[in-house]
């Protein structure tokens, strides 16, 4: 890369040293948007969570979604039977 261009690329900003907004036990290192997505982020509606809290929440959500699989499979099977 051209040296001039490389010198113009800003360094990656450092995360603020603050406690996890969820558990308040560990340092928040993961940007957490919750249900707001990109729009919430652009309006400053985000916090920092620790990796443990992020993974626990993601696992809980995944388990809830996975619980729907049998019901969805049954509905699909009924529709295929009617074909």
Q: What is the pLDDT of residues 13-56, one digit of tens each?
A: 666 688 999 999 999 998 887 767 777 777 777 788 999 999 99
Q: How far is CA 40 from the centre of its chain?
A: 13
pLDDT in tens, 6-19: 566 666 666 668 89
What is the number of other CB atoms lying within 10 angstroms of the CB of residue 48? 20
What's the token pair of residue 1?
A: 């890369």
């Amino acid at each position: 890369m051209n040296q001039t261009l490389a010198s113009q690329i800003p360094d990656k900003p450092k995360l603020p040293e603050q406690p996890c907004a969820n558990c308040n036990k560990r340092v928040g290192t993961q940007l957490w948007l919750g249900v707001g997505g990109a729009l919430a982020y652009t309006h400053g509606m985000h916090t920092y969570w620790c990796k443990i809290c992020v993974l626990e929440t993601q696992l809980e959500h995944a388990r809830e979604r996975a619980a729907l699989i049998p019901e969805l499979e049954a509905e699909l099977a009924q529709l295929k039977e009617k074909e």
